[in-house]
Amino acid sequence: MRASRGEKLFYALNYAFLSVLGILCVLPMVHLLALSFSGQSAVISGHVGLWPIEWNVESYKLLFKGTRIVPAFWNSILITVIGSALSILFTILAAYPLSKKYFIGRRTFTLMIVFTMLFGAGLIPNYLLIKSLGMVNTYWALWMPGLVSVYNTLVLKTFFENIPPELEEAARMDGCSEVRLVARIFLPLALPALATLILFYAVSYWNMFQNVLIYINAQQKQNLTVIVQQMIMNSMLQNVDQYLRPDEAMQITPESVKSSGVIIMIAPMLLVYPFVQRHFVKGVMIGSVKG
């Protein structure tokens, strides 16, 4: 069906608005990238726009030599990879039985899970619980409280419900067990939804900030988000001569160092997103067809 003149005008205005909105979201990151690679005089004078001036990488040298950003980066990867794997595993274990009509107590368990979206215990009871379990200053304090997202569970549950029951019946007639049915039939068909949910979990764990401040006291276990926040709040140019030569130290400013830290923090997610972007819209839309 050919689009009418009004529809073409609407599409054109919609694309123009979204393009402008996308550009406005990208420009601050481009400016930070330019600041991180610009020289001292250009940054202080405020002449840096969207392109580096007086190109230099001394701020990155200072970050890698004089801060804890490298171990914090590996801590973030550890938290994100293990946390995302555990979360998607338990999300599957929760969503699959809830998607079966023959599961006894299905409605009751679903309502109990949805109830947690509306009400929470609060910060102090949560901390006391984590402390009583002996998980303070361990990464389990970051993984366990938010191990399963209710929203993600409902999305995956709806995705499983949309899979034709004839496939399950045929697999059972061939002697397929419950575990094999999930592994061979449901999970391959749910790859778009799984890729989307893994992205949701990965971004959540990578950007985790408040829980790290509350539960992780050891500096060697803190993640990249906390380190960058501390770097933004405090000047990074103290004792800089220990890590850079005098001529190199003269080429950096606190703004360029902070910008470099932010770029290092957001770069991994920007690199991962294109690989799962094609599954993103399909996974969310298919998983939200039913209530």
Q: What is the CA radius of gyration of the chain?
A: 24
| Type of residue found at 226 | V
Model pTM? 0.82
- Please report, in tens digits, the pLDDT of each residue of the chain (291 residues total): 677 778 888 889 999 999 999 899 889 889 888 888 887 778 777 778 888 887 888 788 878 877 788 889 999 999 999 999 999 999 999 999 998 888 888 889 989 888 888 887 788 889 999 999 999 999 999 999 889 999 999 988 988 888 888 888 888 887 888 888 888 888 888 888 888 889 889 999 999 998 999 999 888 898 989 888 887 776 555 555 555 666 665 667 777 888 888 888 888 888 887 777 666 655 555 544 444
Q: Rounded to an integer, what distance in angstroms lies between the CA atom of residue 230 and that of residue 228? A: 5
For the chain, the domains span 67-234
Give the Cα separation of 206 and 269 in Å (integer): 8
Taking CB atoms within 8 Å and a gap of at least 24, the contacts of 284-289 are 284/155, 284/193, 284/196, 286/159, 286/162, 286/192, 286/193, 287/155, 287/156, 287/158, 287/159, 287/193, 287/196, 288/155, 288/158, 289/158, 289/162
Q: Span 67-234: which CATH code?
A: 1.10.3720.10
